[in-house]
Amino acid sequence: MTVISAIRGARDLLPGDLPRWRRAERAAERCFALYGYGEIRTPVLERAELFARQLGEHTELVEKQMYLFADGDGGDTLALRPEATVPTVRAALQSGMHRNLPARLWYRGAMFRRERPQRGRYRQFWQIGAEILGAQSPSADAEQILLTARLWRELGVDGRLRLAVNNLGDGEERARHREKLREHFRANAAEMGEDAARAETNPLRLLESRDAKTAAVARDAPKLSDELGDASRKHSDAVCESLTRAGVAFSQDETLVRGLDYYNLTVFEWSLAGDDRRQNALCGGGRYDGLSQQIGGPPMPGCGFALGLDRLVDLLAEPPRETPDCFLTLTEECAREFAGELAEHCRDAGLTVWRHIGGGNLARQLKKADAAGAKTALIIGSREAAARRVTIKRMSDGDQREAEFAKAPAQIKAAIAGDGVRDGDGDGGNNNDDSVN
């Protein structure tokens, strides 16, 4: 019988994979705490209508990538969440959080999109993100970019990333620009191939096209910056000035549009430096001042970002493997009950204890301890169990000592630290009379 495998685009994260994931998550938690963000967790399932209008009915995400299904006969159409900004805003409104603003929130979790799987791009993927709700000031935009820059420094990947920023203006400015884009792409439709059809539904996305023909037409397209009024320019200038004062390098990129309809004013993206692949973005976000009203709530400005954990983890160096303080070995089966009691006693003292399972003589068990990278081996037989003592073998040099049950954790810690003081003698010398080899 063939073993059933995971679906294409979904993957298992195994014990050996997770140390890097935990490192990234813990670093993000520390950074969020520094800026006063509280964690929020929203459902994986939402009503599909929550996303369709807010993300843009004619975006590729909504048209082709969302996982949709009916909730029973005649029930609501549900969606596996493709992103978490919209659910976070919904949760803030539903809980009444919008009555006490500003609110700083962060999240982590699995998102789902029906995309063509490739390295760093999966159908179930993991994101960490943050939102500031109720803050209109450009200081909020800058704060989030500075937060991400701090995270890259803490993880040691800052030199591998580049930052691009753009200003999408307000609704009226974007509407004028969108119509001019349509006219431009219509006039050049013959030179664009299949992309020409998108000029009517979502012309802004054509500015990011990697198709060579479309990109050539887009280079001569009308600029959104030509439509920006004084208020939009002032907001953008304030964000850029904050980044410059903080020493965060960036470039201004008018082709950066982020692809979702709810963005306005500031958008930004961190991508891999020196990597021109289409899928090289690591983190992106921006301002979405109209999103709350689109969901049916009151006016509530906001800005946020999301970073892809799958891609971030790929940048991190492999951490040292996790190894135990103690590896528990048994020379006789009758000592098993006492061994279990001792293991829990050592764990209560903060020591990590791995137990050998599977039998074998002492030499074989010590080889297992060495392969595990254990700092000490705890050797227990009938003699030790009867006396409620344990033989402690330091794996680095074979040094051995005995300790009674109550003092075992302290003696193990002393052995790990290289301290020669022993149970009952205190002379620091080797006590090899009853050594076990």
Cβ-based burial of 9 (10 A; exposed 0-12, middle 13-18, buried ≥19) = middle
Tokens representing residue 153 in the block = 């420094």
Are 349 and 390 in the same domain?
yes
CA torsion angle 285 290 293 299 (round to 10)? 110
Over the chain, what is the mean pLDDT?
87
Question: By the 8 A CB rule, do 327 and 374 touch?
Answer: yes
Asked if 50 and 140 sit in the same domain, the reply is yes
Considering the domain boundaries, does residue 221 fall inside one?
no
Clarify whether residues 242 and 391 are in a common domain: no
Q: Which residues contact 24 (CB under 8 A, 6 or more apart)?
A: 128, 155, 309, 312, 313, 316
Tell me the CATH number at 254.
Answer: 3.30.930.10
Q: Residue 45: which pLDDT band, with cuts at 50, 70 and 90?
A: very high
Residue 199 domain flag: no
Name the strands in the sheet holding 38-39, side by side, starting at the edge strand that comes first in the sequence. Answer: 38-39, 103-112, 124-133, 302-308, 281-287, 264-272, 161-167, 251-252
Evaluate whether 421 touches 400 at the Cβ level (below 8 Å).
no
* Residue at which a domain ends, from 281, 315, 349: 315
pLDDT of residue 62: 64
What distance in Å separates the CA atoms of residue 189 and residue 192, rounded to the nearest whole number?
A: 5
Residue 188, pLDDT score: 82
DSSP string, 199-244: HHH-GGGGGG---HHHHHHHTTSPPGGGG--HHHHHHHHHHHHHHH
CA nearest neighbour of 22 among 325, 322, 317, 313: 313
**Same-domain status, 65 and 158:** yes
If asked whether residues 300 and 351 sit together in one domain, one would say no
Q: Are residues 29 and 136 in the same domain?
A: yes
**Range with the poorest average pLDDT among 8-17, 72-81, 144-153, 258-267:** 258-267
**Residue 215 counted as domain residue:** no
| Measured distance CA(161)–CA(271) in Å, rounded | 6
Tell me the residue type at 405: F
E strands, 95-248, are: 103-112, 124-133, 161-167
Same domain membership, residue 83 and residue 29: yes
Query: How far is 160 from 153, CA to CA, in rounded Å?
Result: 10
Instruction: Indicate whether 281 and 347 sit together in one domain.
Output: no
Q: Judge if 301 and 343 occupy the same domain.
A: no
Total number of domains constituting the chain: 2
**What CATH number is associated with residue 334?**
3.40.50.800
**What pLDDT is recorded for position 95?**
95
Domain boundary among 290, 315, 340: 315
Residue 206 burial by CB count (10 A; 0-12/13-18/19+): exposed, middle or buried? buried
Tokens of 145: 């970019």
Residue 143 to residue 254: CA distance in whole angstroms: 22
Within a domain: 178 = no
**Residue 288 placed within a domain:** yes
Mean pLDDT, rounded, for 282-311 = 93
User: Do 103 and 134 touch, CB atoms closer than 8 A?
Assistant: yes
Confidence (pTM):
0.82
Of the listed ranges 107-121, 191-205, 274-288, 364-378, the one predicted with least confidence: 191-205
Look at 219-228, 293-302, 393-402 and tell me which has the smallest mean pLDDT.
Answer: 219-228
The pLDDT tens digits for 306-319 are: 999 999 999 998 88
**Domain-embedded: residue 60:** yes
Residue 351 sits in the same domain as residue 296:
no
Range of the domain at 144: 18-169+228-315
284 with 352, same domain?
A: no
Q: Is residue 345 part of a domain?
A: yes
pLDDT digits (tens, 9 = 90+) for 116-145: 877 767 899 999 999 999 999 999 999 999
Is residue 379 one of the residues assigned to a domain?
yes
Q: Are residues 240 and 331 in the same domain?
A: no
CB 311 within 8 A of CB 360: no
Question: What element of type H or E holds 79?
Answer: strand 77-80
For residue 436, the model assigns a pLDDT of 38
